[in-house]
Amino acid sequence: MIEKALTSADVEFVTTLHGEEQVSFQVLLQPRGEQADRLLRAIDDVALGELDEAVREGETPEGEEALSVGQRALEVSLAALRASGSPAQGRLIEDHPLDALKSLVEETGADEVIVLTDPHYVEEFFHRDWASRARHKVGVPVLKLFSHSKA
What pLDDT shows up at residue 54?
47
Residue 5 is given by DSSP the state P
Task: Flag residues of the chain having pLDDT under 50.
Answer: 35-36, 54, 151
What pLDDT is stored for residue 95 in this prediction?
81
pLDDT at 148: 76
Q: Cα separation of 60 and 95, whole Å?
A: 18
Q: How far apart are CA 136 and CA 25, in angstroms?
A: 21
Segments making up each domain of the chain, as ranges: 8-46+65-146
For the domain covering 8-46+65-146, report its CATH number: 3.40.50.620
The rounded distance, in Å, linking the Cα atoms of 80 and 12 is: 9
What residues contact residue 125 under an 8 Å CB cut-off, 6+ apart?
none
Give residue 66's pLDDT.
52
